[in-house]
Amino acid sequence: MAKKSEQIIKNLSTDSVIFGFDNSELKVLLIKLAVEPQKGEWALPGSNILTDENLDVAAKRVLKELTGLDNVYMEQLYTFGDVLRFPLFRVVTVAYFALVKIEDYQPEPGPKASDAKWFPIKKLPKLPFDHIEIINYALKRLKQRVRIRPIGFELLPMKFTLSQLQNLYETIMDVEMDKRNFRKKIIGMNLLIPLEKQKGVPHRAAKLYRFDKRKYDSLKEKGFNFEI
């Protein structure tokens, strides 16, 4: 019998939409389920919630078990609870969305999944339950968030070029932007620290930047605006 600290709440789970960006496409991390009745199907990583475990702790635990990553951007998304969303019995799931630096993590399946893989958001496999609905909702939220808060950096490597950043925004928001205007705006926010130049590229080397989280936190407190 499981010890007390491992008792699960039968009717409650968490599922996470984990986004990554590989410089050309937005991707979602899915796992291949290892247990019946959905064995073999790709699905969102998720888990039941333990009786003595906070919701966000559960979501972070799943991410950690699956990817070995912690300290990633994560926020609660929405709670999906349709009576029929899970076919066997009633399960309400608290969905989270996470942003990870894709190059920090090349998937290796955890113990509960037989495989884990990044899928382009535009080429998702068939998903069980309401997982596609959850992903669509997460994507909508990501688009909103990225427009009003500088969270895009969470998807890029620590050091990135302005072109990479623009490319990220264009991909997520599905628009084209003017290079000069984009740079004007981003630089004007004063959240980037210029670093050395790129090396080993077969053309003019771009300057690298990193996100100034410290300054962001202090500006945020003062009620600044970060709309793109």
Tokens of 172: 């997520």
Site membership for a second copy, residue 136 (CB under 8 A): no
Q: Are residues 5 and 87 in contact, defined by beta-carbon separation less than 8 angstroms? A: no
Q: Does 143 bind a second copy (CB under 8 A)?
A: no
- Residue from 105, 138, 117, 107 nearest 43 by CA: 117
Cβ distance to a second copy smaller for residue 9 or 69: 9
Is 94 one of the binding residues for a second copy (CB under 8 A)?
yes
CB distance 66 to 116 below 8 Å? yes
By rule CB under 7 A, what count of residues binds DNA? 20
Separation CA 35–CA 185 (nearest Å): 49
170 contributes a contact to DNA by CB under 7 A: no
Candidates 6, 22, 35, 52: give the one binding a second copy (CB under 8 A).
52
Under the binding rule (CB under 8 A), the answer on residue 82 touching a second copy is yes
Assess contact for 29 and 42: CB atoms under 8 A: no
Within 10 angstroms of residue 156's Cβ, the number of other Cβ atoms is 22
CB of 76 to a second copy, least distance (A): 6
Among 35, 57, 158, 201, binds DNA (CB under 7 A): 201
User: Could you say whether residue 76 binds a second copy (CB under 8 A)?
Assistant: yes
Helix (H, G, I), strand (E, B) or coil at 215: helix
**Structure tokens given for 114:** 């037989």
223 makes contact, choosing from a second copy, DNA, none, with CB < 5 to 8 Å by partner type, with none
9 binds a second copy (CB under 8 A): yes
Judged by beta carbon distances under 5 to 8 A according to partner kind, the member of a second copy, DNA, none in contact with residue 72 is none
Cβ of residue 38: shortest distance to a second copy, in angstroms?
22
Task: Give yes or no for residue 6 binding a second copy (CB under 8 A).
Answer: no
- Which tokens is 50 given? 């333990």
Is residue 159 packed enough to be buried (19+ CB in 10 Å), middle (13-18) or exposed (0-12)?
middle
* Contact in structure between 148 and 156 (CB atoms under 8 Å): no
**Helix 162-173 vs helix 131-148: crossing angle, to nearest 10:** 130
Q: Between residue 142 and residue 161, which ones bind DNA under the rule CB under 7 A?
A: 161
Q: Which residue lies nearer to DNA by CB, 10 or 207? A: 207
**Would you say 20 or 150 has its CB closer to a second copy?**
150
Binding site for a second copy (CB under 8 A): 9, 11-12, 49, 51-55, 76, 78-79, 81-83, 90, 92, 94
